[in-house]
Amino acid sequence: MHTPDSNITPVDLDNKAALSLAIKQQAYSEGFNKVGIVKAEPLNDEGRRLEEWLARGYEASMKWMLREPAKRANPLEFFPEARSIIVVAANYYTPHEHEDSSATGKISRYAWGDDYHDVIGEKLRSLLSWIESIGPGVKGKVCVDIQPVMDKAWAVRAGLGWLGKHTNLITPEFGSWVFIGELLLNIELEFDSERIDDHCGTCTLCIDACPTDAITEPYVLDSNKCLSYATIELRSDSLPVEIESKLSGWLYGCDICQDVCPWNRFQQVSDEHRFDPRPGNVNSDLAGILELEPSDYARRYRGSAMKRAKLTGLQRNANALRAHGAPETLGSGNP
């Protein structure tokens, strides 16, 4: 990681091409696997699709998405000084597999290691610090999922990959096992114009494999039916009946649509060890989850994305899995 006293190669700040190249090289040195730079401008088409999605009620109980959808589609409303957006992707794949057992629940791969908000945020803040050190007056905003920024749309614009029919970003090199982040800057850089074509073709494996038909049509997902939404975001004492009966062994999140994706056969092992699984984070013992006290829960999931579900949510999910017996094999392990 960059530190302010690192040796810095002089960069001609008036040479946008040289500065952009230097920033990309530094981003790679921070541990990102893909980098693109695009102009900070409104996402008109993407914004319209977001509004159509919200009009269908597909955000479910995530009502914060209804607040200022136009702001999500326009980075200038979030950061008026923005001129350029650096979009990054980090591979998080690790070579481990779920087990199918009625005594345990499966955890979505993205939550196996340390919280990606922390890991990606740290890398982006380090990159911003480096840019500020070579360019006086540079200002920026770090975005990792929780800011009102359309991460996947920017990744597509920046040429990092294409939006799959399951609505996840797919990259040719790492499949969909990537985290996305952005750095909004108040300086104009050289922009990447080449995008990656949609390579999903006629494949519908992700749509066919979803046990709850949450992918209502290619590139459209109804959160109300999604196992990931239900087991992570839904705040209720019990899961909907149509969800509870089709959990397929998932305690937290769901990777079914990604596990069956042919592009995820090209995965590569991440060299970021903070994405390696924590103990009990590939499969979690259901009895152990149900015995957790708040203090144990806080200690165990400190710095983990799994804290998003809260103790009540994890225990609700564990009870649902125990009530419905052994999981189906659909979506377990790797394709």
Catalytic residues: 145
Closest listed residue to residue 319, CA positions, set 265, 222, 233, 251: 251
Q: Tell me the C-alpha distance between 80 and 69, whole Å.
A: 16
SS3 292: coil
- Strands of the sheet with 250-252, listed across from one edge: 250-252, 104-107, 283-285
The pair phi, psi for residue 290, each rounded to 5°, is -70, -20
Give Cα 270 distance to the centre of its chain.
15
H-run or E-run covering 88: strand 84-91
Query: What is the residue type of 101?
Result: S
Nearest to 108 by CA among 294, 5, 248: 248
